[in-house]
Structure 1
């Protein structure tokens, strides 16, 4: 009897252990036990396809590759789907090579498919997240994710760096359009839907396999809350309040079993997230129960004080599992391997990171999968299919927010001649925005998109179907007066850092878009404005000059979705109503300070606002006072009494953050590479001492809020930079003077030799002709000094002036 009871208990215990056993963990443990130190270190590194070859993957056992925003197979901007598959095969075969006793661990290829598979010419491009937030439709989000996953799989990739779960609180941030909303509840409602749509249902047979991909919740955490909306900046405040607000989407994402989380470039209260162990390890992996792996952002580990792109143990020790080291991977591999062998690297932490990566790969079925081109999901014919484009078109319709419709001008009726004008009317580039074919989304012609429809093309088709006529005239000119005009205008494409703004004024009074609207209104032509933007902007004069005004955000490739809502059917009835509601408060002034749902005097249209065709509201004229000094009469002054001249802003920067605004007399860059303090010249603290510590590159700069045309100061060839300064410690190495001259324009010159010739400890006036920087023509966006070596300079004043001398004092 006792023997029978003991036998039964033994069987029960074995059964319980078997039930508790995790096959994925068991298999990962078996693989880990076979791996060499070289294979372990390789597994935690991700390289960009522009800087790595299949042979490199084989030699260094790399765990992952990615294609950055400007990387495509073959080295060009774009590549055919077959080229993507061929390169995926080559990397796969290299990683799974078991020659010479290798374990042969398949790599994963990550891509920024953030609004569709947006690096592909033939893919469908969805509205950016800010537009999807206005749709307020989690079911739609899930279907968008499913389409995106199918198109990513079609070209052989298994991993997307999406969704972005930022709660953008300052619209000056250049990544605002990557955020669904300023409201954490909308972000939270979308997070699970997007993750599940990308990955599939956790526990289902096709979870992470077949037509599904590995998702990434990013950027953990606080990226949308940085002070003054500065990219890679610092989010300040009570930690728990920050996590409640900015971490709202991560709980639902983890509940949907998201497999990867990307660490943020930004900091919280001065601590870089890539090195924040209390949050990456203790909070995310511990309290929140995240059991996937943490991946870094583009060389983000290098921004930890004391780290470089090629040498950073601290990130792994803080909880980073995979380094995104696009072009620094080889040096990083060597240094991590040395650290592992000499005892500087925590080997248990290394094993934990590798285990996490292995388990994700096992859950995704990669160890048992054939090479990418042989998978059923690799079907290029799916890219931009009619079914996929229809989902995107629905998203466009639902994202539109009607701010004004005086006299019920919309929807447009039949039998009219419609002038379609504006820079965005016939531009896939402008309606798609950043992260489209390349990082910044610029330089893309319409014929580079295989499946796309401009807003004009969609309007033309819809108008002709109701016996109306569409006339395209980008500049708004016409021979015969039209019945109505649709003007499509707005922001040109940008991505992070280049999209950061110092205010939210879209355009000054002399702007070309406003002039066009006013010209049409003066001709007594009813005007419908379709505004393309990645954030709410101060456009009160533009709204006043329009009879109807639509916030269309960045709708992507399906421009016909706009016509679906604006143009009536043959019976004069709306084919689709406006259902979009603002997921961001719209500013009444252009100063840019956060408003976030307040319905005070700084809000023109509150969070949740949006008219429908059933609303008969007449919008009164809005104030045209931007609340910002927009005086464009630049006098040439850059620095006065040691501070930035009126209308300009002084910044400090280093590897930790390049954009720290100087708001006090004494200041320091986030990583401590450069410091400012007050110093006396002619009066108490009427100058600034700038000290480079010599522990890494530091930069001091003065920047304009918008590009300044220097021609107002005279012939550029006769202009010079005049500086009153004192050299307290000259650099022994190169010191670079930086000159920002407009979009995608930067010049520089070495001023180290000049500094070494100046009388030490004496105030000096230097005259540096603009010709020292090359072509003097153009604009001014910033002037700065940068260096790695220790040096100290005091500046009292700087200005651009006409100068008699044309001799350049620089080598």
Structure 2
């Protein structure tokens, strides 16, 4: 164990670039890769000058597609629509790219059929979290936590390019991604949406992802990216989603701000405000909800950081500002929100906002600034020139597929935590028993934000082009040599040469995935069936290889002790065969694909170790940031202490 831990601590020291870098004492000045264009600015000014107040407020309003018709887009001069989690054209989860494009055209045509002096096209935003993940038939890449373990910014950029094309295939050109959270407490239900606890890695990835999505905004495959959630979403107290981030100004600059600096430099055109509050306890200043924080949204983001795109709110996030509701929030607009995501109550919101401008509660200058920013982005993206179906990728289902890239990403994301006795890689000419609930379950390997919001309503039939981890094992070994049992009950272990257990978390998203403040990080306490299946196969004289699917690092000493080899596979997405690529040798006995992934999150050594980050004074993980074994390593983990104590 000592040699293994020493290797991990060395890795952590190499990874802690963010902690060791010179600390910022002021917000940096950022120069965007997408600069001002005099012709665009003149056109923005001309368009805004010719708009009525109702037209301006309509531009600032973003309803959800289930609550607004194309005709209403025209009637109310709506500037944007979105589809939320579990929302598709015609409420059809299996809607084709052609059906998506048809609806996108209807909204676009409606927006260009108003009585405005200059018609302004509607922009449709979508959550493309790990690929075009809300759409049936799209390739699904590993969630960000897995991409972080790959430590490959070029790979992330390629995924951004592929995802952008997949989104253009359904007639949409704006994605609510990437998430740039730097997670401090792994109880947070959105931990898997983060690349790392290391701000330096998030910074590197932010630039690559934004550049992959946007390019120069002039190519057919480019989409508008969103840096989210500004700011401090990953730092909430006890990991509570939408909670309070207790951080100093220095910590906000040097930890939570890291991804935004490079995203803004790469030219990201939209920024989404965060649900969380910010309480600077060290200075005794409670800044309140980010949606109402003028200092951060206007003074910092648009002022010191030089952002000239537009700020979009999160789902009714403005309603959490004191004194606001879904249908009314002058505070958020005055703070710097430009486009308000108001899914259902948009009619009342428009009426109230118009009245608030007329009364002087919201200055007209603030409205003009917001609308100018929205139109600027639309002009930069070439949205006035052609409708969605005129893009060459539109309606083409094959554009949504890049299985080879996703499979590569899976291989690179895997982290080998334990390989005592050099059990891995396995030979192909063996009889393999596969056990565990997640071996043949695409839903478990894709996680939340997949087709549906939570990802829990899906079955394998919802993923026509996906491959389970089991299918990869069968392909590697041959069907005649593989037996699958979910729980290993009644199976004679002695008939097999090795056991592969595929276990893990079930899907969740946002606050539904939060672990309660007194909850434990112990995986087996939430999923006792995983412990039971390992107990059924361990100690029977056959090597046990465990593959854990999870959206966060978890306390798993009991599971590690029942395993000879242990792989953190995160949430690998649709290409489960990438796992078998690394677990098995080639037919000639040589390594097929090596383990290259290393931890981008520290791994806990006790059940209550939820807040564990490299650079902390009391940093003492089981496996440190940057840890990951390679084939040929002689490091051993051995028997670990098991602790099931309750958390306070």
The answer to whether TM tops 0.5 is yes
The SS at the match of 1:66 is: strand
Q: 1:560-599 residue pairs with structure 2 within 5 A?
A: 560-597=577-614
Q: Gaps (5+ residues) in structure 1?
A: 1-18, 202-206, 630-646, 648-811
User: How much does 1:240 deviate?
Assistant: 2.7
What TM-score, normalized to structure 1?
A: 0.72
User: How much does 1:78 deviate?
Assistant: 3.9
1:393–1:308 CA distance, 2 compared to 1 (3 A)? same
Query: How far apart are the structure 2 equivalents of 1:350 and 1:417?
Result: 68
1:612–1:226 CA distance, 2 compared to 1 (3 A)? same
The structure with the largest helix share of the pair is 2
Partner residue, 2:111 = 95
Partner residue, 1:473 = 485
8 A Cα contact 2:438 2:444, kept in partner: yes
Partner residue, 2:84 = 68
Q: 1:257-336 residue pairs with structure 2 within 5 A?
A: 257-269=267-279, 270=286, 271-336=288-353
What TM-score, normalized to structure 2?
A: 0.90
Query: How far apart are the structure 2 equivalents of 1:74 and 1:327?
Result: 17
User: How much does 1:49 deviate?
Assistant: 0.6
Query: How far apart are the structure 2 equivalents of 1:622 and 1:437?
Result: 39
1:93–1:557 CA distance, 2 compared to 1 (3 A)? same
The SS at the match of 2:510 is: coil
Q: Gaps (5+ residues) in structure 2?
A: 1-34, 280-285
1:197-229 residue CA offsets vs partner (Å, 9 max, x unmatched):
00004xxxxx25410100000000000001100
Partner residue, 1:227 = 237
8 A Cα contact 1:414 1:468, kept in partner: no
The SS at the match of 1:368 is: coil
The SS at the match of 1:603 is: coil
8 A Cα contact 1:78 1:119, kept in partner: no
1:112 alignment partner, one of 127, 134, 144: 127
8 A Cα contact 2:420 2:565, kept in partner: yes
Partner residue, 2:365 = 348
1:37 alignment partner, one of 43, 53, 73: 53
User: How much does 1:66 deviate?
Assistant: 0.4
Query: How far apart are the structure 1 equivalents of 2:268 and 2:289?
Result: 23
2:638 equivalent to 1:620: yes
Query: How far apart are the structure 1 equivalents of 2:457 and 2:205?
Result: 32
The SS at the match of 1:605 is: coil
The total of aligned residue pairs comes to 601
2:415 alignment partner, one of 401, 426, 451: 401
Partner residue, 1:247 = 257
Partner residue, 2:17 = none
Partner residue, 1:488 = 502
2:553 alignment partner, one of 536, 552, 557: 536
Query: How far apart are the structure 2 equivalents of 1:132 and 1:445?
Result: 24
Partner residue, 2:389 = 373
Query: How far apart are the structure 1 equivalents of 2:175 and 2:304?
Result: 25
Query: How far apart are the structure 1 equivalents of 2:501 and 2:587?
Result: 23
1:79-109 residue CA offsets vs partner (Å, 9 max, x unmatched):
22221111101100100114x4553210110
Partner residue, 1:427 = 441
The SS at the match of 1:552 is: strand
Query: How far apart are the structure 2 equivalents of 1:608 and 1:116?
Result: 26
1:291-346 residue CA offsets vs partner (Å, 9 max, x unmatched):
10000000000000000010101111000000011112111111001112232221
8 A Cα contact 2:101 2:395, kept in partner: no
8 A Cα contact 1:588 1:601, kept in partner: no
8 A Cα contact 1:208 1:214, kept in partner: no
8 A Cα contact 1:175 1:495, kept in partner: yes
1:503-559 residue CA offsets vs partner (Å, 9 max, x unmatched):
311113992211211121132221110000000001100000001000000000000
1:480-525 residue CA offsets vs partner (Å, 9 max, x unmatched):
7211111101100000001000331111399221121112113222
2:426 alignment partner, one of 404, 412, 417: 412
Partner residue, 1:498 = 512
The structure with the largest strand share of the pair is 1
Query: How far apart are the structure 2 equivalents of 1:149 and 1:60?
Result: 29
Query: How far apart are the structure 2 equivalents of 1:417 and 1:20?
Result: 63
Partner residue, 2:74 = 58
Partner residue, 1:451 = 465
Partner residue, 2:30 = none
Query: How far apart are the structure 2 equivalents of 1:523 and 1:170?
Result: 38
Partner residue, 1:772 = none
User: How much does 1:603 deviate?
Assistant: 1.1
2:194 equivalent to 1:194: no
User: How much does 1:372 deviate?
Assistant: 1.2
8 A Cα contact 1:296 1:323, kept in partner: yes
User: How much does 1:590 deviate?
Assistant: 1.1
User: How much does 1:604 deviate?
Assistant: 0.8
User: How much does 1:413 deviate?
Assistant: 0.6
Partner residue, 2:43 = 27
8 A Cα contact 1:142 1:197, kept in partner: yes
1:279–1:488 CA distance, 2 compared to 1 (3 A)? same
User: How much does 1:120 deviate?
Assistant: 1.1
8 A Cα contact 2:167 2:400, kept in partner: no
8 A Cα contact 1:598 1:606, kept in partner: no
User: How much does 1:628 deviate?
Assistant: 2.5
Aligned-residue CA RMSD (Å)? 1.7
2:628 equivalent to 1:610: yes
2:167 equivalent to 1:155: no
1:81 alignment partner, one of 75, 88, 97: 97
The SS at the match of 1:441 is: coil
Moved over 4 A (4+): 598-602
1:101–1:143 CA distance, 2 compared to 1 (3 A)? closer
Query: How far apart are the structure 2 equivalents of 1:510 and 1:30?
Result: 60
1:105–1:610 CA distance, 2 compared to 1 (3 A)? same
The SS at the match of 1:28 is: helix
Find the structure with the greater CA-based Rg.
1
Partner residue, 1:514 = 531
1:116-136 residue CA offsets vs partner (Å, 9 max, x unmatched):
000111100000000000000
User: How much does 1:374 deviate?
Assistant: 2.3
1:152-175 residue CA offsets vs partner (Å, 9 max, x unmatched):
000000100000000011000000
The SS at the match of 1:508 is: helix
Query: How far apart are the structure 2 equivalents of 1:588 and 1:119?
Result: 36
Partner residue, 1:390 = 404
1:121 alignment partner, one of 128, 132, 136: 136
User: How much does 1:381 deviate?
Assistant: 3.1
